[in-house]
Structure 1
Amino acid sequence: MFKGLFLCLLLISLAVRAEEWPTDPQATGPAVEALEAYAFPPRDDGTRQGVRTDALLVIRDGRLVYERYAGPTTADTPHLTWSISKSLMATLLGVAYGEGRFRLEDPVSKYYPALERHPALTLRDLLHWASGLDWQEDYEYAPLKSSVVAMLYTRGHRDMAAFAASHEAYAAPGKAFRYSSGDSNLLAAALKGIVGPQRYADYPWTALFEPLGIRRAVWETDAAGTFVASSYVYLTARDLARIGLLMARDGRWGERQLLPAEWVAFNRTPFAGYKAGQDEAVPGGHWWLNLAADGAPSPWPDAPPDTFAALGHWGQALYVIPSANLVIVRYGDDRDGRYRHNELLKRTLAAFAGTVRP
């Protein structure tokens, strides 16, 4: 008995070790010091002011070349990703898309009947945050009129998708961009209909996390058993980097095409209905793009135009830069808006890819 248990533990240990990132010696030098000066200034946990980086991790050419943690976060900490969860839902849907389970043009009501009064609303529309539903994505500064605060914490928290579906339309689906955590949770409810209730509870793990070697993911559900795709995935920095590398490789992981390349291309294609100034970055298929749009300059001018990202509240970020062979994970606890994506990208590129310009 004990011999069998020992062998089982040994095999688990070897499997976890085999899934660790290949690493290079930790990078040093003036450019790295300049990066750290921005990302890790002296930290005041009393006031929570300034740039407050919890984790910074850089993958270059598939190898871990830089890693640093601060505050309570360590390499073993599954960190709250906030709205990075939205891009993770899009990635999970990509696996289902590759299995032939749905088409982008399918009406959402086919999989989530609560939207039957919006029969023209498609999965593509939700992935573009273009449902046309009258949603107010306000946070701490305007909680009384905030749809997202009501969904996450008050009258909508038990069944978040039903709460989102109850909103009236202000525009035809697919015509106008309006960032909405409700759209993301409607996608999570649709996924239940796409894969079936029997598979749904395990699907993020069996379809995405386990094939990537991610073993410590946490994805919360609401009381209706629907994943909170807007906000509540927890991953270590190293595990989130696996998602980034999967996207950088056009959906391929080892010998397996986990996501169809056409799905990744959709994620990285800008929504045609986006108007300049509606958000900091340009929306793609539930990912954010560093592209000029509607006559405006690119949002992160010191990064290459092929840069794309998953972004979350209080400074969470997963940046993917295919032309520089870089994946960057940044977790934070920024409360005053001083953190700038472009500044971190500029300094990281200078440290790990030379001076890469558009």
Structure 2
Amino acid sequence: MPAEARIIADRFFADRRLAETRAIVVLKDGVPIYERYAPGYNATTRLIGWSMSKSITATLVGQLVGEGKLSLDAAPVFPEWANDARRAITLRHMLHMSSGLSHRESSPQPELDDTIRILFTDRAQDAARWSKAKPLEAAPGARYEYSTATSILLADKVQRTLSPGLTNPEARKKAMRAALISRLMIPAGMPSLLCEYDNAGTMHGGSLCHATALDWARFGQLYLNKGVASGQQVVPAAWVDFVGTPAATDSGYGGHFWLNRRRPAGRDVALFPTQGPADAYAAIGHLGQYVIIVPSKRLVVVRLGKTQDDVLEPVRVALGRLVNSLPDSR
């Protein structure tokens, strides 16, 4: 690893503005060139991905689209939506966070937010059922609104597609766990991946997947390699292109991945578009979780930690510096 890049990477563990960094992993052409952990963490520690879990869920959707079992533009997504305006919602809308469903992601009163309620409080028993019942507040495809509930619905759709008619919660969990193992964990080399479920057996595909830093890096490598791992096409190459293509309603968002592009005015910066590179994109999670994929550099950068979102800008800037300190591939 170049000396300048190593100095930048080491700074994540020394600079208070970049705290609390728990792990940094850098892969170049699939080979680890930097791997470091904060005290109390190591290569076997599972670390929560928070909203990076959304990109895991999108990967499963992409596999099913590639197999012809799901369609990006078929509607209605759920039979419960067939008899009202929600019948126009498609998987494409949901993956682009433009379903139009009423949702409250976060606010100064978190106890009232839909996300907290479906994860931890009064709606947590059956998050998908409650999310599915939400009414429209905008026309499908007309407005971007980030929504963890949407990702839970996508996970539910995956489970219902893979195991139709299965209703017992424990059976649903077991079937989904088996699908994760056979479809992603084994072929992509992510044996530590562990996702949580609600009491109805629906995977918390918007927030609660955990993995080691190296396994998160291998997830990024899967996308860097156009969906190929160990010689196997795990995710269709067309899906890799789809998730990295800007949504119509937000130029900085793709298919449940974030793009290194400027976003519409008034929306939070996701990566480092003023620093480049333009082809970088990422799975990003609450409190500063990043799996950054940079095709032009054959690079994957993982940062895991716990940094409050309102002081996250120095972390983003430092990640941009780290990425740009490494050479382009020839």
Please say whether Structure 1 and Structure 2 have the same fold, judged by a TM-score greater than 0.5. Answer: yes
Q: CA deviation at 1:300?
A: 2.6
Q: Name the structure 1 match of 2:147.
A: 180
**Residue-by-residue CA offset, 1:111-161 (whole Å, 9 max, x unaligned):** x4344442111111110111101101116x421331111111111101111
- Partner of 1:168, secondary structure, is coil
**Residue-by-residue CA offset, 1:51-100 (whole Å, 9 max, x unaligned):** 21000000011110000001432110111110000011001211222222
Take 1:295 and 1:180, find their aligned partners in 2: how far apart are those partners?
A: 19
Take 2:68 and 2:129, find their aligned partners in 1: how far apart are those partners?
A: 26
Tell me if the contact between 2:272 and 2:317 (Cα under 8 Å) persists in the aligned partners. no
- Partner of 1:283, secondary structure, is coil
**Residue-by-residue CA offset, 1:182-229 (whole Å, 9 max, x unaligned):** 110010111122212474342111111111122121111110101001
AA aligned to 2:113 is S
Take 2:26 and 2:303, find their aligned partners in 1: how far apart are those partners?
A: 9
- Partner of 1:234, secondary structure, is strand
Q: Among 306, 319, 327, which residue is 1:345 paired with? A: 319
- Partner of 1:64, secondary structure, is strand
Q: Among 266, 287, 303, which residue is 1:314 paired with? A: 287
Q: How does 1:236-255 map to 2 (within 5 A)?
A: 236-255=212-231
Q: Name the structure 2 match of 1:157.
A: 124
Q: Among 115, 119, 123, which residue is 1:148 paired with? A: 115
Q: How does 1:49-198 map to 2 (within 5 A)?
A: 51-109=19-77, 112-116=78-82, 117=84, 118-138=86-106, 141-196=108-163, 197=166
* Residue identity (%): 33
| Consecutive unaligned residues in structure 1, runs of 5 or more | 1-26, 44-48, 276-281
CA 1:114 to 1:322, structure 2 compared with 1: closer, same or farther past 3 Å? same
Q: Name the structure 2 match of 1:33.
A: 7
- Partner of 1:187, secondary structure, is helix
Take 2:66 and 2:294, find their aligned partners in 1: how far apart are those partners?
A: 24
Take 1:193 and 1:221, find their aligned partners in 2: how far apart are those partners?
A: 14
CA 1:201 to 1:216, structure 2 compared with 1: closer, same or farther past 3 Å? closer
The TM-score normalised by the length of structure 2 is: 0.88
- Partner of 1:222, secondary structure, is coil
Take 2:15 and 2:292, find their aligned partners in 1: how far apart are those partners?
A: 24
CA 1:312 to 1:157, structure 2 compared with 1: closer, same or farther past 3 Å? same
Comparing 299-308 and 220-229, the one that deviates more = 299-308
Q: CA deviation at 1:293?
A: 5.1
AA aligned to 1:156 is R
Take 1:83 and 1:71, find their aligned partners in 2: how far apart are those partners?
A: 24
Take 2:202 and 2:31, find their aligned partners in 1: how far apart are those partners?
A: 35
Tell me if the contact between 1:137 and 1:181 (Cα under 8 Å) persists in the aligned partners. yes
Q: CA deviation at 1:243?
A: 1.0
Q: Among 205, 209, 226, which residue is 2:181 paired with? A: 205
Q: Name the structure 1 match of 2:169.
A: none
AA aligned to 1:183 is T
CA 1:115 to 1:228, structure 2 compared with 1: closer, same or farther past 3 Å? farther
The TM-score normalised by the length of structure 1 is: 0.81
Take 2:18 and 2:34, find their aligned partners in 1: how far apart are those partners?
A: 23
Take 1:200 and 1:67, find their aligned partners in 2: how far apart are those partners?
A: 31
AA aligned to 1:289 is L
AA aligned to 1:29 is A
Q: CA deviation at 1:262?
A: 1.0
Tell me if the contact between 2:276 and 2:324 (Cα under 8 Å) persists in the aligned partners. no
Q: Among 266, 284, 289, which residue is 2:259 paired with? A: 289
Q: CA deviation at 1:336?
A: 5.8
| Consecutive unaligned residues in structure 2, runs of 5 or more | 167-171
CA 1:176 to 1:325, structure 2 compared with 1: closer, same or farther past 3 Å? same
Take 1:186 and 1:317, find their aligned partners in 2: how far apart are those partners?
A: 23
Tell me if the contact between 1:108 and 1:190 (Cα under 8 Å) persists in the aligned partners. no
Tell me if the contact between 1:217 and 1:234 (Cα under 8 Å) persists in the aligned partners. yes
Q: CA deviation at 1:295?
A: 8.0
**Residue-by-residue CA offset, 1:322-348 (whole Å, 9 max, x unaligned):** 001110111011136323354223321
Q: Name the structure 2 match of 1:332.
A: 305
Take 1:108 and 1:55, find their aligned partners in 2: how far apart are those partners?
A: 41
Comparing 240-249 and 192-201, the one that deviates more = 192-201
Take 1:273 and 1:229, find their aligned partners in 2: how far apart are those partners?
A: 22
